[in-house]
Amino acid sequence: QVQLVESGGGLVQTGGSLRLSCAISGRIHPTYIIGWFRRAPERERTFVAAITWGGGDVMYTDSVKGRFTISKDNANNTVYLQLNSLKPEDTAAYYCGMTTGRLSIATKVPRAYTNWGQGTQVTVSS
């Protein structure tokens, strides 16, 4: 059973940076995809970025392209999300989740994911 634990959230000012970590325990298969989602208060969980565990292919939602970077460390079974040039609208609880297959439109859908972490809060002050 794969378990995911997020960390690295916090309070930053507009323009600041944070690095979120998603530590993965359990047996990881090359077909796994690790995705980052976020949920703002009274909003639905939305896709942010994803990376394939085997090949390292990445996908981003348009609003974070050029500001956020997803990466992985196979040796430490960790996926990172570097958040730069943060804006108040980035304020949300950030979650990592696991799915399988190839990057596609389905990768952006929360119900495609079978395992989730507990989330880490990112708050950007204006």
Give Cβ neighbours of residue 44 (< 8 Å, ≥ 6 apart).
none
Pick from 36, 37, 47, 39: nearest CA to 79? 36
Name the percent of the chain in helix, strand, coil, to the closest 5: 15, 50, 35
For residue 84, count other CB atoms closer than 10 A to its CB: 14
Q: Note the maximum CA span of the chain.
A: 41
**Does residue 1 carry a pLDDT above 90?**
no
Neighbours of 99 (CB within 10 A): 19
| Each residue's pLDDT tens digit, 67-92 | 999 999 999 999 999 999 999 999 99
Q: Which two tokens stand for residue 49?
A: 């970025």
pLDDT tens digits for range 15-53: 999 999 999 999 899 999 999 999 999 999 999 999 999
